[in-house]
């Protein structure tokens, strides 16, 4: 029976699933443990996606907008379908709801512009990371931010890393780690940079002139307690228990036009909850090959600029609350209330944070309304009209 839900937001290269299934079989990972959830749109070829999963011989579902709406109604939580933004990478949150309803033990996020490295057991390595207990490198800085590219000689900072936290002094030590709840795989080829940093790297095609290789990564590591880091969802595994604190925020489909911070801010929430509860986020292997398609860097900048100032401050807001909570939902509720009720009018688009806080509270209410294991993953067929 499948215990790993693989969530793939896709409108383009859904065939990447073939490479991940082939990698699992090449390395002896039992594909019966995997169920793929492709989150897509009506303008995509959902039939071809379903046929691909069938041809691969793996369990899976394909959810475009109409099927997501149908799923919410069948689950009795139709009032919460606004939680999933239209045409946004943040639709990965639907995969989290699917996981919650169907009682998977683990989740994996994969972006459709990535591929696994042939010589590494992608799923097996993620699962081993989630079971890790032992000594590992622990990283911290005087800015309370860890650059996940700190080992590289390229002096790169990833998408979502605050500009005010740059030029940090890095410290490393060996630490004993157990209770790992998330495994972040990093990336070769196109680094995950924001548009401003891509422009500074001299690239107008949305990628970056600088490319990363396996040589840019050394030992695996964790960020120290009280330290924040960017969490990118293109290559990420996690335990089911984190879902209440891991909502991917309503990006793109909002009146402030804020986008591109869904996984970044959800990663902040996860790190804060993990710190409060004594849990850890593992970083490093398995690397993936990131093959970001060329596009206008200025288009990405348009999507990001509305949230850049907010990104400098979100971590400070959540860092001040939830310290006495004893559950992921408890920490998340404290963060949600701080955002929903806060006064952020001095920052550009500050009201968007209030909007996010309200959606975060709805996320918890939606999870409360879903009884795990009670929803059939297959929708009931509706007879055609004669």
Which pLDDT score, from 0 to 100, does residue 374 have?
Answer: 60
Which pLDDT score, from 0 to 100, does residue 296 have?
Answer: 97
Residues contacting 363, CB < 8 A, separation 6+: 83, 93, 244, 247, 332, 336
CATH of domain 4-369: 3.90.550.10
Strands of the chain, DSSP E: 4-9, 34-39, 59-63, 106-110, 114-116, 134-141, 145-146, 170-177, 180-189, 221-223, 228-229, 235-239, 280-290
Strands of 82-167, DSSP E: 106-110, 114-116, 134-141, 145-146
Highest mean pLDDT among 176-180, 299-303, 374-378: 176-180
pLDDT band at 380 (very low <50, low <70, confident <90, very high): very low
The pTM of this model reads: 0.95
pLDDT band at 341 (very low <50, low <70, confident <90, very high): very high
Which tens digit of pLDDT belongs to each residue from 358-375?
999 999 999 999 977 666
pLDDT band at 49 (very low <50, low <70, confident <90, very high): very high
């Amino acid at each position: 029976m499948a215990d790993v839900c693989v969530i793939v937001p896709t409108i383009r290269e859904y065939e990447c699933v073939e490479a991940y299934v082939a990698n699992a079989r090449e390395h002896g990972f039992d594909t019966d443990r995997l169920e793929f959830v492709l989150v897509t749109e009506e303008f995509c070829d959902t039939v071809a996606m379903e046929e691909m999963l069938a041809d691969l011989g793996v369990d899976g579902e394909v959810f475009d907008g109409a099927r997501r709406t149908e799923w919410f109604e069948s689950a009795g939580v139709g009032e919460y379908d606004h939680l999933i933004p239209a045409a946004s990478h943040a639709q990965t949150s639907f995969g989290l709801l699917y996981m919650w309803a169907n009682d998977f033990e683990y989740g994996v996020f994969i972006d459709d512009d990535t591929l696994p490295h042939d010589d590494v057991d992608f799923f097996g390595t993620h699962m081993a990371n989630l079971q890790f207990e032992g000594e590992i490198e622990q990283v911290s800085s005087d800015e309370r931010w860890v650059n996940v590219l700190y080992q590289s000689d390229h002096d790169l900072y990833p998408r979502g890393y605050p500009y005010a936290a740059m030029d940090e002094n890095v410290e490393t030590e060996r630490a004993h780690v157990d209770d790992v709840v998330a495994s972040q795989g990093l990336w070769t080829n196109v680094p995950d940079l924001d548009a401003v940093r891509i422009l500074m790297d001299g690239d107008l095609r949305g990628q970056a002139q600088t490319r990363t290789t396996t040589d840019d990564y050394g030992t695996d590591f964790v960020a120290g307690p009280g330290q924040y880091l960017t969490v990118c969802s293109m290559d990420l595994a996690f335990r089911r228990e984190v879902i209440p604190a891991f909502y991917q925020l309503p990006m793109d489909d909002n009146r402030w036009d804020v986008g591109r911070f869904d996984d970044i801010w959800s990663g902040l929430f996860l790190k804060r909850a993990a710190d409060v509860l004594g849990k850890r986020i593992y970083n490093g292997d398995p690397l993936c090959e990131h093959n970001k398609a060329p596009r206008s860097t200025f288009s990405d900048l348009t999507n990001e600029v509305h949230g850049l100032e907010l990104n400098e401050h979100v971590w400070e807001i959540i860092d001040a609350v939830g310290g006495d909570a004893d559950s992921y939902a408890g920490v998340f509720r404290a963060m949600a209330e701080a955002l929903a009720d806060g006064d952020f009018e001095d920052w550009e688009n500050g009201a968007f944070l209030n909007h996010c806080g309200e959606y975060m509270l709805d996320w918890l209410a939606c999870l409360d309304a879903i009884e795990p294991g009670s929803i059939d993953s297959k929708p009931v067929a509706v007879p055609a009209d004669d």
